């Protein structure tokens, strides 16, 4: 076998090393190019500084809280039920403005969506990132286009009014530097029906356009402020309890020995359904409920009103437990069907009468709130059973169809009560209503 000279062997090694490096680089580039990337970008004819100035007026839309995740993020699971595990959605838009060679601006927008995920295994719960479906990015680009378009219209019409060139005399003696006119100036034919189009008419028309453009800018500004107020209202609802410290237990009943559903983290927020002096009843997600000690949450300002006023407005009963189980009776419309059974107790320290009238008043309020949870749920139970856990006791049951007709205004209160089940029947004493 013929051996290559040392100089050739060195050159061959260098060539082989370069080929290997080029091959690796081309493979990396091919892999990167094969990955699909969704870009939300738009080119604006304005300069970078103009676009950035318009973006500053859109700060309320750059980040905030989402009223709902559906419609803004792609589905996190195979069906829509996976959405029930996500709460408190937030979004943050990243905007990059770069100038183009033609003096225009290229704007790229990407949105990051985060939400609290409640897993059946408490240790797996936490904030997760959901992919955006592009609605937030497109909406921000559309708003930017509206703002820039309105400002451009105002600038152009104002410039047209202020930069109208003065009329020069056709006589050379009036302006020695002006060129001589070798052709007659065209004029519109005059008639008794057609007024002359003078400089004053033109100025008046341009001023009208300027006024219309300014009104549009004012309308857009007012709309932006209104939307910002709505966003603030959605971001700070008045019926949320905020967890004070991490590790607070969410229980399935208002008892110290109740089952722990999961542990909450500091700053977690939950909707308040009911409260007592020691416990707060919370909506976890969808139809999920839980209890937490009142000392572990910060209640809204409305819940911290004067004690005397709170005593007058507080319900006479509070929810002690909830469960889905077969109907505990022999009433035909619900016999053998799954129902939501809600056990309530008299509020501690309440000295008001808790007779049939007070019980019917509480049942009416509770049925209305419960139906709001079932209205759009295809897996809702067949009805609701309210059990008064006290010495004088009692039970009131209703079907879901009766609730639907009553809440829709198709049944009066008296007609609704006649379609309910009462035990004992004295609870439906007409004189007690």
Mean pLDDT, range 219-242, rounded to an integer: 69
Q: CA–CA separation, 54 vs 143, rounded Å?
A: 10
Q: Is the pLDDT of residue 297 over 90?
A: yes
Q: CA–CA separation, 255 vs 279, rounded Å?
A: 9
Pairing mode of beta strands 338-346, 383-388: parallel
Q: Is the pLDDT of residue 180 over 80?
A: no
CB count within 10 Å of CB 229 equals 11
Q: Is the pLDDT of residue 305 over 70?
A: no
* CATH class as words, domain 315-433: alpha beta
In 305-412, which residue ranges form alpha helices assigned H by DSSP?
307-313, 356-374, 400-407
User: Between these two residues, 1 and 276, which has the higher pLDDT value?
Assistant: 276
- Tell me if residue 353 falls in helix, strand or coil: coil
For the chain, which residues make up each domain, given as ranges?
39-160+203-236, 238-314, 315-433
Query: What's the confidence (pLDDT) of residue 420?
Result: 93
Residue 33 in tokens: 């190019």
Q: List the one residue out of 404, 429, 431, 424 whose CA is nearest residue 416.
A: 404
User: Between these two residues, 313 and 218, which has the higher pLDDT value?
Assistant: 218
Residue 31 in tokens: 């892999």
Sheet containing strand 297-298, edge to edge, reads 260-264, 248-251, 288-293, 279-285, 269-275, 240-243, 297-298
Query: What's the confidence (pLDDT) of residue 287?
Result: 67
Most confident of 177-186, 192-201, 222-231, 416-425: 416-425
CB 314 within 8 A of CB 273: no
Q: List the one residue out of 102, 418, 125, 116 whose CA is nearest residue 263.
A: 125
Query: What's the confidence (pLDDT) of residue 37?
Result: 47
The pLDDT tens digits of the residues spanning 17-42 come to 655 555 545 554 444 444 444 669 99
Q: Is the pLDDT of residue 414 over 50?
A: yes
Give 179: exposed, middle or buried? Use CB within 10 Å, 0-12, 13-18, 19+: exposed
Query: What's the confidence (pLDDT) of residue 208?
Result: 79
DSSP 183: S
CB count within 10 Å of CB 52 equals 14
The pLDDT tens digits of the residues spanning 76-97 come to 766 566 788 888 888 999 999 9
The Cα-based distances of 174 to 169, 171, 179, 186 in angstroms read 6, 6, 11, 21
Query: What's the confidence (pLDDT) of residue 156?
Result: 54
- Tell me if residue 243 falls in helix, strand or coil: strand
Q: Provide CB contacts within 8 A for 264, sequence distance 6+.
A: 243, 246, 247, 248, 249, 250, 270, 292, 296
Work out the mean pLDDT of the chain and round it to a whole number.
Answer: 76
Strands (E), 181-234: none
Tokens 């967890």 appear where? Answer: 243
Q: Is the pLDDT of residue 68 over 70?
A: yes
CB 342 within 8 A of CB 322: yes
Q: Is the pLDDT of residue 195 over 70?
A: no
Pick the CATH number of 238-314 from 2.30.30.40, 3.40.50.850, 3.20.20.105, 2.170.8.10: 2.30.30.40
Dihedral over alpha carbons 267, 269, 273, 278 (to 10 degrees): -10
Mean pLDDT, range 277-293, rounded to an integer: 85
Mean pLDDT, range 352-364, rounded to an integer: 77
Query: What's the confidence (pLDDT) of residue 308?
Result: 39
Q: Provide CB contacts within 8 A for 131, sequence distance 6+.
A: 73, 74, 113
DSSP 132: B
């Amino acid at each position: 076998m013929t051996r290559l000279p040392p100089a050739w062997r060195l050159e061959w090694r260098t060539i082989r090393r370069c080929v290997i490096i080029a091959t690796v680089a081309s493979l990396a580039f091919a892999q990167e190019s094969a990955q699909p990337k969704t870009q939300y970008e738009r080119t604006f004819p304005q300069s970078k500084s103009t676009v950035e100035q318009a973006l500053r007026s859109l700060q309320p839309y750059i980040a905030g809280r989402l009223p709902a995740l559906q419609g803004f993020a792609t589905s996190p699971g195979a069906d829509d039920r996976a959405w029930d595990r996500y709460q408190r959605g937030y979004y943050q838009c990243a905007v990059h403005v770069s100038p183009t060679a033609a003096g225009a601006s290229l704007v790229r927008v990407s949105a990051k969506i985060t939400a609290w995920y409640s897993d059946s295994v408490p240790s797996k719960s936490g904030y997760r990132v959901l992919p955006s479906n592009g609605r937030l990015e497109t909406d921000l680009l559309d708003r930017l286009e509206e703002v820039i378009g309105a400002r451009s219209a105002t600038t152009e019409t104002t410039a047209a009014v202020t930069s109208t060139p003065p009329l020069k005399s056709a006589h050379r003696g009036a302006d020695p530097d002006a060129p001589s006119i070798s052709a007659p100036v065209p004029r519109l034919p005059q008639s008794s029906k057609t007024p002359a189009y003078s400089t004053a008419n033109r100025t008046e028309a341009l001023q009208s356009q300027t006024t219309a453009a300014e009104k549009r800018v004012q309308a857009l500004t007012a709309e932006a402020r209104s939307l910002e107020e709505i966003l603030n209202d959605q971001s700070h609802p008045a019926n949320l309890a905020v967890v004070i410290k991490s590790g607070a237990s969410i229980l399935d009943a208002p008892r110290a020995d109740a089952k722990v559903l999961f542990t909450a983290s500091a700053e977690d927020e939950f909707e308040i359904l009911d409260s007592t002096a020691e416990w707060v009843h919370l909506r976890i997600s969808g139809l999920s409920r839980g209890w937490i000690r009142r000392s572990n949450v910060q209640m809204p300002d409305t819940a911290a009103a004067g004690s005397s006023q709170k005593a007058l407005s507080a319900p006479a009963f509070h929810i002690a437990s909830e469960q889905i189980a077969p109907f505990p009776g022999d009433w035909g419309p619900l016999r053998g069907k799954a129902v939501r059974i809600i056990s309530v107790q008299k509020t501690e320290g309440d000295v008001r009468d808790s007779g049939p009238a007070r019980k019917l008043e509480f049942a009416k309020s509770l049925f209305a709130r419960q139906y709001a949870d079932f209205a759009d749920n295809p897996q809702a139970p067949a009805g609701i059973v309210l059990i008064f856990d006290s010495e004088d006791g009692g039970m009131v049951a209703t079907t879901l169809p009766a609730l639907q007709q009553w809440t829709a205004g198709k049944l009066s209160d008296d007609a609704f009560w006649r379609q309910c089940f009462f035990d004992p029947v004295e609870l439906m004493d007409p004189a007690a209503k």
